[in-house]
Chain A
């Protein structure tokens, strides 16, 4: 396990529901029992529909949300451990672990110039000794993400969505991090820009030897960029495997329906494919279904699924699934 850069074990994040103090403690169970590792230089994709806890997972790993349970280990250092009551000061780790946010419109302070937005992390972590060095570094970062020096004195509202996301990426890169959580970095962008930004993420990874946790709800994008993919449903992991393995030999009924929804460019092929359409809506995370959380929408569900939480187990080498009825699904 030691070859992992980041490891999380049984990570949990429950948000208390306000105004519910009279009843037994209600909580939005946004994230439960998240356990995985990311190797150095790897890209782990994370997919799932909206509200499944992907964003919460990303933020909780960076402790932008304080976890309510579990353990986070980064490069051998324990950042958080509920049982041992460890919660270290994150400041030195903010230099190593960064995040690119989903919404490039809201995540940049509208009162600061782009130069200051990118420069602020440099100041916080005292990375430059002189003004000239700081300026050169900012310009270098902007150029690295496809912007140029004259953009430094402008404000975020003067940029397009794609350019703003580049600013957000430059900001994340400003501290020369090792690990970046990409929290749906392209979902707010035009399709024409998405490919550019995805390619930029890949180039940056090669140049700077970065490790990514790449969160998205679009499986075809995640498949393209990721080495391995984890599929989330209602705050829990349902399947984790190598990219190719997961899309070609998906086992969990939920993953299969996601994979079947990837658009196929060839209309003849597309007509032949069997789309699995799920019935119903995602249940409330305040009161999730007992046992397997997917059972309310699963065509294979039975009493066992309601009674027991399926174990997240390794079925074939490196391929983990949480399902009671794998034999039947096949």
Chain B
């Protein structure tokens, strides 16, 4: 397996969990709601989407459905089944939002620590229900007949081998170009410490990605890593395989989720959310129904988690209740806090950091009987980093983000809400 394939699966993970984390950030970072049950909406989104899109009477499945939306709309034309899948995702998001509405109405009035514990409890109950009620979603056996949209189009081939290689290769190089351009811009705007970190990290990653595989695998490996969108072994003429499509889809969904939250929090509506986080009494004194705002933030965040769940399902191709343990919520909290609470870019950075450590250390060669030890050591490291960051840099690596219009603060010059 080329390094490129590993990077693609890692980036897909990061994109999906970043979307999940952005939903959490909307609740926790911008509105101040500690939802320890966030993973429940991830699970609901995954299950509802899968059940809405998979065919009825699938083998080995004894739960509700499926409702085969893509087949239903498939008669409309080639894009009909894609539309059916999108409808299924929307259904998953709406289901997640509705469940969070039902959870939020009673619990949002509680003290913040009681809210956290109650939300954790409800999420645990929901996971137990999905695990134990086989008539619902097949119980512990999970669902392995996940509908994957546009599956038959891939591997995508445009014509001959050379044409494929040229088109996808140019697109791959364009992505590298854009990344380089973005890195240079970030480099220019950072302080000395930021430049130092980038100046060390970027060459290291570049050596690891380009130089080391070339030394071991020759030009073939270098080509595969450089032209990463192009998989020469996919199909008769090479082309873009499904994993790469899922990556692009996840990144696009992440972009959409990012855009929606950015627009939300920068709007006057989002300012109310941020004011609720700082001191709920103030917006209330100004006549805002803060309870409704909190409820809506909870629903929007949960809907984003639901979308992430739908992507998770097509990425893994199999869903089961044990994938949605409460620890996933804690991992997302870690990612949000490490990257920067109330900073959507920080969420992506934190998620990349977390899953980079969690999955990236698999290149360290340890005898297989120590694999539990290695996994445990990684999580211990993450716990230590979490505590250190909270102590030395409580605002996270990137700090709180800038807003179009910040909340009024003492010096009124900053772009953040840091009061």
Say whether A associates with B. no
B residues apposed to A, CB below 8 Å: none
